Amino acid sequence: MSTEPFSAVEVIAIKRDKQVLTEPAINWFVDAYVRGVVAEEQMSAMAMAILLNGMSAPELSAWTQAYIDSGTTMDWSALGGPTADKHSTGGVGDKITLPLVCVAAACGLSVPQLSGRGLGHTGGTLDKLESIPGWRASLTESQMFEVLQTTGAVICAANETLAPADRRIYALRDVTATVESIPLICASIMSKKIAEGTGALVLDVKVGSGAFMKTVEQARELAQTMVATGKNAGVATRALLTAMDVPLGRSAGNALEVAESVEVLAGGGPSDVIELTLQLVQEMFEAAGVTPSKNPADSLTDGSAMDVWRKMISAQGGAVDAQLPSAKYNHIVTATRDGHLSKLDALAVGVASWRLGAGRARKEDAVQHGAGIQWHADLGDAVTAGTALFTLHTDDESRFAGALEVLENGYSIGSKDEIVDRLPLIIEKIK
């Protein structure tokens, strides 16, 4: 005779029939799934019911908390100062985390940043950093604390004990056509960020062809849902909707993006990367309720952000002065005529980079650290026939054809009045 307080079938039926699940029912369902009492097909049915019928704010808070309660949580109070983190929903050329944690730490915040690896056309922060010889992503909580204490920032992989329920449900969503569910996206992101123990959280929700959310309306709904869920859990949370119709910076690919990040930390680099980095840092300080010890922009010119970078990378075993990997082969795409770059599509650039070997199709795939793509003109820039528009990098020459095929439809050269309207870099703030 079962001693379980609920029946899986009955709990699924409640959500199927558009009713509201109670907190005890949610807690039991997620915990029973982790214990193996709720079967894979039953969680699949629940995920579909959530996708079709949504969740109320209290349901979503309870569902997220159940993910958190399935594992351990971190506590950084012993650091004795404010902590803040940033999460991006993923984009093309989005290397913002790398300079951002250094700027924030140089100005007085502690930044415990748990990051992931890339899947599909969006790059993963850990993949980028693993292009640095010797750098290691896996740290224990005590090692994280030590790096935070000595440098002010750490970027590493989430350990297996943080929100393990999410890891299993995430994999299930992929094979049950429920990836798009906003409540399930929210719970997945926010459970790990809340369990991470940060005091404040800023969300960078990307919008456009190269992002998961293609429209401002979709992105706004996700951002509002995540902000409310964070606040309900006691974490000061805010979000920016930012543009991903055009790729960020001038490169996509692991080592290529690290090189661009170092350029930013050295006081140079693309203006959009600098602008978004500084805007997100400002939001992190405001969310944490503290004033920066200096103007964050100054940390990029006085060397203090670069100092944090060097200490942080070295503390995690990275050879900070070592040469980054470069691909064996490159191919240059030149402008066929004079004009202006009237289209530069983030998705096409991202897929081209992925096809060159910078990303993975399955989580167990390896990435080429030197692979990727650089673009030498931004949307609206004047170009001259015969000048380089793109440089493609790969270790496998056979990959060029597939990358060029998708890239061909991702850009065009026209007159100035043919330039496609682009989204503003910062579209909206949600507090």
Measured CA to CA, the distance from residue 354 to residue 332 in angstroms comes to: 17
User: Looking at residue 122, what DSSP letter applies?
Assistant: B
Cβ 251 vs Cβ 259: under 8 Å? yes
H helix runs in 3-124, sequence order: 8-16, 23-35, 40-53, 57-69, 97-106
Measured CA to CA, the distance from residue 136 to residue 129 in angstroms comes to: 8
Measured CA to CA, the distance from residue 222 to residue 164 in angstroms comes to: 22
Residues involved in catalysis: 87, 166, 173, 188, 192
- Of 84, 54, 57, 67, whose CA–CA distance to 26 is shortest? 67
Measured CA to CA, the distance from residue 238 to residue 193 in angstroms comes to: 13
Measured CA to CA, the distance from residue 52 to residue 9 in angstroms comes to: 17
Residues in the chain: 431
Q: In the numeric block, which tokens belong to residue 308?
A: 């944090």
Q: In the numeric block, which tokens belong to residue 269?
A: 């680099």
Contacts of 12 (CB under 8 A, 6+ apart): 42, 45, 46, 49
Burial class (CB in 10 A: 0-12, 13-18, 19+), 37: middle
179-212 burial, b at 16+ Cβ within 10 Å, e below that, comes to: eebbbbbbbbbbbbbbbbbbbbbbbbbbbbbbbb
